[in-house]
Structure 1
Amino acid sequence: TYVTPPLTEPVRISGAPVVNLVASTSGTDSDWVVKLIDVFPDEVPSQPEMGGYQLGIAMDIFRGRYRESFETPKPIAPNTPLPYKFTLPTANHVFLPGHRIMVQVQSSWFPLYDRNPQTFVPNIFLAKPQDYVKATQRVYHAQGSASFIALPVVSMR
């Protein structure tokens, strides 16, 4: 999870945020779920129930086996940082002053999406119990291999 400090000015986005993820897994397949979230201030005097609320703005899942081609899935080389580039759904939103922009990255969205066995198999829907293994995922943010989301920021004027 990555969170900005509270915003001092409004930030308007209009378009499809582009995920540029550099990540690795100890398995041979993995899902990458990325969520762009508007975090309300901890205290909202006019609506106390909204304090700290996390509003999902754009979210999607990307199956690592398709990082090079949707037609030809390939296993992931274990423990190797690899680039994953994909777009989130189009969003038109204004992050208000006092709010924070949050990005969450996770490797499962079960039960919304089927579980990934973390082992490359020709067809995930035919995975056997022994194909399901524990895996460790890492997101990289060092200079030269930094993960980021390119936001489609537009002028407020």
Structure 2
Amino acid sequence: DWVVKLIDVYRAEVAGEPALGGYQLPVAMAILRGRYREDLGVAKPVKPDTPLTYRFALPTTNHVFLPGHRIMVQVQSAWFPLYDRNPQKFVPNIFFAKPEDYQKATERVYHAAGKASFVELPVVSPSASR
């Protein structure tokens, strides 16, 4: 599984609201089961140690990153208990996975030339909203 979160990180210090300094506000989140990376209707095993492309379309949201805020992208491999566990072994139906099907997995996010991961965000100019 891959979970991607877009987060608004507040300034280190927020005038009048010290508790909000550095606060991380989740803006949009999505999860994708690796087995459905090409087609949500067809499960396909993931080959170990092979870079693959995963495309995420985060839900549309109206959010403005204020001056001084930072954009954080979190990538993680699980979202349990909000989303069920993935056995990490290809089985026909994960709802019938046996205890021995659950195994450790290692995921990699590449940043080497030719294999770089990236995030593409639409940017709207301030004048476009008027």
TM-score range, shorter chain: over 0.9
Residue matched to 2:51: 81
- Displacement after TM superposition at 1:43 (Å): 0.9
Superposition TM-score, scaled by structure 2 size: 0.94
The equivalent of 1:36 in structure 2 is 6
CA RMSD of aligned residues (A): 0.9
Report SS of the residue matched to 1:61. Answer: strand
Match of 1:45 in 2: 15
- Structure 1 match to 2:66: 96
Distance in 2 (CA, whole Å) between partners of 1:147 and 1:93 is 24
**1:79 maps to amino acid:** D
Q: When the two structures are superposed, what TM-score results if normalisation uses the length of structure 1?
A: 0.78
Residues in 2 aligned to 1:37 and 1:91: alpha-carbon distance in whole angstroms:
12
Structure with a larger share of its residues in strand = 1
Matches of 2:25 and 2:53 in 1, distance apart? 27
Q: Which residue of 2 aligns with 1:148?
A: 118
The one-letter amino acid of 1:127's match is: A
Corresponding position of 1:18: none
Q: Is the 8 A contact 2:30 2:56 kept in 1?
A: no
For 1:68 and 1:34, how far apart are their aligned partners in 2?
A: 17
CA distance in 2, matches of 1:121, 1:137: 19
Structure 1 runs of 4+ aligned residues shifted over 6 Å read none
Letter in 1 for 2:12: D
Q: CA deviation at 1:149?
A: 1.6
2:41 paired with 1:67? no
Structure 2, unmatched stretches of 5+, are none
Shift of 1:46: 1.6
SS, match of residue 55 in structure 1: strand
Higher helix share goes to which structure? 2
Which residue pairs with 1:9 in the alignment? none
Aligned residues: 127
- With CA pairs under 8 Å and 6+ residues apart, which has the higher RCO, 1 or 2? 1
